[in-house]
Amino acid sequence: MNVFDKLALPNGSIIQNRIAKAAMEENMADANHAPSAQLMRLYQAWAEGGSGLLITGNVMVDSRAMTGPGGVVLENDQHIESFRKWARIGRAKGAQFWLQINHPGRQMRANLGQPTWAPSAVPLALGKMSKHFNTPQAMTREVIEDVIQRFARTARLGEMAGFTGVEIHAAHGYLLSQFLSPLTNQRTDEWGGSLENRSRLLLEIVKAVRAVVSPTFAVAVKLNSADFQRGGFSADDARQVVKLLNELAVDLVELSGGSYEAPAMQGDARDGRTLAREAYFAEFARDIRTIAAMPVMVTGGIRRQAVADQVVASGVDMVGIGTALAIDPYLPRDWRAGKDNAPALSPITWKNKPLASLANMAAVKFQLRRLSLGKTTDPKVSPLRALILQQLGEAARTREYRRWMAQNSLSAQ
């Protein structure tokens, strides 16, 4: 078994190889928060690069709830033609193309000017950076029901636009991950308390999505192997959630880890010295594979074919690659041609972990911007330079978002 073997999904569809372009947040929406020309150029490169599966960065189910400014929103059919064009580009070379659909919950910056909802009124603990996030309001039953319907509507619109699946984001500290964790979910109703109750929102969303899409449309879930915080969502919890998902028509589970407070999805576990440390969620994925009824994908630090092949040979069904494909979008094609490429960014050794995490994300987004403009990437970019450019860009996009929301609220009156 190697990364270039095909993978059959439970829905009967085939993925041409075991390499997935994992989701990375691009923040490249156009003025209407639909896919921009730059975003389409970026996905054209990935489509030509040879990955069997492309998963978009966050596509938001609610324009009032954004993981960041410049995010793509799919909550109605107003700009469906732009999404159709995006789907055609991503699928042009035979890859499956899935929308990662998401709601940020409390992980939404205060300067976006929107009410912040979460399972409970538990603020983010980010030290000096906590001031950038509002203390959330505890979600009412009506808000919870609205969120369920929004995930389903976005999935249905995604299928209408020509995408081949959706991945429901229940990892990295976003809303569904917040419901799963006892640290952020302190509810005493049917949505909190026991793991069964904390899992209820995710399970209800999977059921609602599956009810409105065709049987051959892929429905996947992205899940934390753990959130790496004492008293939080644990590896045992993740095992139990996968067992609950086994009862539903889920086509793939992607395992990652961490959150804004504990950003393990970028962590410093990868040093390249050993295969095991480079694929830093792979051991847990192998364990989950023994109980999962659906294929399992692991994402986190993979950048060498030897590692990817070892992960697949160990029984994990797919490898998700993020940063390495931001640097070299043609990496799978290179590997197939026998090239031993292993793209990596310069390591960031700053003591302030949340700031280092932001700088790492900024360095990745710097590569994405260059690709979207048809330029070559620069993996040696200064993290500080990337972070400053990122902050300036976000400030401008935040102002644009606030104007857009104000115009939308005026036109709705």
Model confidence pLDDT, tens digit, residues 167-176: 999 999 999 9
Q: Assign 273 a pLDDT band (cuts: 50, 70, 90).
A: very low
DSSP annotation string for 237-250: HHHHHHHHHTTS--
Task: Name the pairing type of β-strands 96-102 and 7-8.
Answer: unpaired
Q: CA-CA distance, 220 to 23, in Å (whole number)?
A: 13
Across the chain, what does the average pLDDT equal? 92
Partners of 339 in the β-ladder: none
Separation of alpha carbons 283 and 316, rounded Å: 9
> Is pLDDT above 60 for 276?
no
Q: Note whether 306 and 278 are within 8 A (CB).
A: no
Residue 270 is predicted with a pLDDT of 34
200-212 vs 141-161: helix crossing angle, rounded to 10: 40
Q: Which amino acid is it at 42? A: L
pLDDT at 126: 84
> Can you tell me the distance from the alpha carbon of 33 to that of 28, in angstroms, rounded to the nearest whole number?
8
Around Cβ 158, how many Cβ atoms within 10 Å?
26
- Cα distance between residue 202 and residue 222, in whole Å: 11
Pairing of strands 7-8, 14-15: antiparallel
- DSSP H/E element including 337: none
Centre a 10 Å sphere on the Cβ of residue 406 and count the other Cβ atoms it contains.
Answer: 11
Q: Give the pLDDT mean for 398-412.
A: 88
User: Which residue ranges form the domains of the chain, and what is each CATH number?
Assistant: 7-345 (3.20.20.70)
Q: What is the pLDDT of residues 374-387, one digit of tens each?
A: 999 999 999 999 99
- CA dist 302 and 323 (Å) reads 9
Q: Is the pLDDT of residue 277 over 60?
A: no
pLDDT digits (tens, 9 = 90+) for 201-224: 999 999 999 999 999 999 999 998
Q: Can you read off the two tokens belonging to residue 169?
A: 């984001």
User: Quick one: tokens of 242?
Assistant: 């996968």
Higher pLDDT, residue 76 or 301: 76
Residue 338 clears pLDDT 80, i.e. is over it = yes
- The CA distance from 144 to 147, in Å, is 5
Spatial separation of the C-alpha atoms in residues 364 and 353, rounded to whole Å: 17
